Amino acid sequence: MKILQVITSMHIGGAEKVVMELILGLRTLGYDVDVALFSGEDTDFKRQLDRSGCRVFSFSIGGKTYNPIYILKLWRIMHRYDIVHTHNTAPQFFAAIAGLGSKAKLITTEHSSSNRRREKGHLKWFDNWLYGRYDTIVCIADQAKQAMETYLGRRMDDVAVINNGVNVEDFHSAEPASELYPHCGKFVIAMVAGFRYEKDQDTVIKAMTNLTDGYELWLVGDGVRRKELETLIETEGVKDRVKLLGIRKDVSNILHAADVVIMSSHREGLSLSNIEGMSVGKPFIASDVDGLREVTQNYGILFPHKDAIALAKIIDRLHTDKDYYHTVADRCYKRALEFDVNKMVEGYIDIYRSLI
């Protein structure tokens, strides 16, 4: 069985991490897997794929996501594969066209419970056509499948649910980041997320104004909202207690050096950062929104969306009540084990086999 994964790029991100882990897991089990990138810039994820022996088709370096020439480039290689598995909107669309007349089976993964197309009701006809071109659609959570069915107004029996997975053992066994640990007696909250509009670092920053100087916040990531967040940090007067750590390769080490892990967001699919945070054996706090609620409820701690005061109270209790801290941490780790990457890989193998 020959499998081609198709995604826009291998920049640092949730969907990209899933694709990398899926490819590495499949290749470890002896499957012949390659990847097509619309933009093939050199990144850590791409280098890991190169080292694995995976063939990487780079259609451009820094090119536009919706360049129609990619349809032709896909058409030229798709016939070599039994399975073509797409991720993200542009690959979904272009592979659906390039695959016309191809014998390759098409599968796509929806990595979120929402997207910009769904906010435009007049594009529903397009989504019905697009999804109709695929032999199987995978959603990364039950809630994401329900959202798709609600949007399209019909049941979709060809939709499977496979939870995203992470390498739980790698995160659990990591050592604390040496340059950050120990942190002078501060109680540290860490959040790993791109500085994008879907994420809500703002509420965590505002929560710091309701906590004493004994608390510190580490924000791991970067993106288009960096200047906005820097301004907010300055305005709220917490510049000396908030560290912007940028994009890091040692996320597991950073999380081990922190005391609490948080994901504050406006919406999610099934957040890898959610599972990674639980994997390190620290208490995990999340916004009470779709995607985060599904994994966190009854294990970690949910706080009302955008409620900085409620969040600050949760953080303070975790600091002052050690029994509560350890109870939540233990529950989080047990929950993370349910989302191990090996279970994700096995789920996709079952689908691939069912199509051949």
| The predicted structure's pLDDT at residue 60 | 96
Q: What is the pLDDT of residue 121?
A: 64
Q: b/e string for 140-164 if b means 16 or more Cβ within 10 A?
A: bbebbbebbeebeeeeeeebbebbb
Confidence of residue 169 (pLDDT cuts 50, 70, 90): very high
327 & 178 share domain: yes
Tell me the pLDDT band of 220, cut-offs 50, 70 and 90.
very high
Using CA atoms, how far apart are residues 114 and 300, in angstroms rounded to an integer? 24
Q: What is the pLDDT of residue 118?
A: 65
End-to-end CA distance of the chain: 8
What number is the average pLDDT over the span 331-350? 96
Banded pLDDT at 147 (limits 50, 70, 90):
confident
Does the pLDDT at position 126 exceed 90? Answer: no
**206 and 270 together in one domain:** yes
Query: If you average pLDDT over residues 170-177, what whole number do you get?
Result: 92
Average pLDDT estimate for 238-254 = 94
pLDDT digits (tens, 9 = 90+) for 184-212: 689 999 999 989 999 999 999 999 999 99
Does residue 270 register a pLDDT over 90?
no
Clarify whether residues 232 and 90 are in a common domain. Answer: no
String of DSSP letters for 141-173: SHHHHHHHHHHHTS--TTEEE----B-HHHHHT
Q: Omega of the bond prior to 182 within 30 degrees of 0, cis?
A: yes
Residues 60-71, mean pLDDT to the nearest whole number: 93
pLDDT at res. 218? 97
Cα(291)–Cα(145) distance, integer angstroms: 11
DSSP 92: H
Domain CATH number, residue 73:
3.40.50.2000
| 194 and 248 inside one domain | yes
Average pLDDT for the chain: 92
pLDDT band for position 117 (50/70/90)?
low
Residue 283 and residue 189 in contact, taking contact as beta carbons nearer than 8 Å: no
Given a contact cutoff of 8 angstroms between Cβ atoms, the answer to whether 40 and 46 are in contact is yes
Q: Which position has the higher pLDDT, 118 or 192?
A: 192
Q: What is the mean pLDDT of residues 84-94?
A: 96
Is the CB of residue 300 less than 8 Å from the CB of residue 286? yes
For the cut 90, the answer to whether the pLDDT of residue 112 exceeds it is: no
Question: Could you tell me if 16 and 102 lie in one domain?
Answer: yes
Which pLDDT band holds residue 36 (cuts at 50, 70, 90)? very high
| Orientation of helix 89-98 relative to helix 124-132, angle to 10° | 60
Residue 239: count of CB within 10 angstroms of its CB: 11
Q: Among 104-113, 139-148, 195-204, whose mean pLDDT is lowest?
A: 139-148
Q: Residue 122 above 90 pLDDT?
A: no
pLDDT higher than threshold 80 for residue 101: yes
pLDDT on residue 119: 63
Whether residue 278 sits in one domain with residue 328: yes
User: With 90 as the cut, is the pLDDT of residue 178 above it?
Assistant: no
CB-CB neighbours of 349 under 10 Å: 17
Domain that holds residue 20: 2-165+341-355
Q: How confident is the model at residue 272 (pLDDT cuts 50, 70, 90)?
A: confident
Q: How many CA atoms lie within 13 A of 263 on its CB side?
A: 30
Instruction: Give the pLDDT score at 342.
Output: 94
> Which residues share a beta bridge with 177?
none
Identity of the residue numbered 271: S
Contact yes or no for 318/283 (Cβ under 8 A): yes
Reported as a pLDDT band with limits 50, 70 and 90, residue 290 is confident
Q: Pick 115 or 56 by higher pLDDT.
A: 56
Per-residue confidence band for 46, with pLDDT thresholds at 50, 70 and 90: very high
Answer yes or no: is pLDDT of 58 > 70.
yes
The reported pLDDT for the residue numbered 115 is 63
249 and 109 in a common domain: no
**Total domain count, the chain:** 2
Whether residues 138 and 194 fall in one domain: no
Type of residue numbered 247: I
Q: Are residues 180 and 310 in the same domain?
A: yes
In angstroms, the CA 76 to CA 140 distance is 30
Residue 32 sits in the same domain as residue 144: yes
- 130 and 46 together in one domain: yes
Q: Are residues 175 and 155 in the same domain?
A: no
The pTM of the whole model exceeds 0.75: yes
Are the CB atoms for 1 and 83 separated by under 8 Å?
A: yes
- What does the angle CA 167 – CA 40 – CA 160 come to, to the nearest 5 degrees? 45
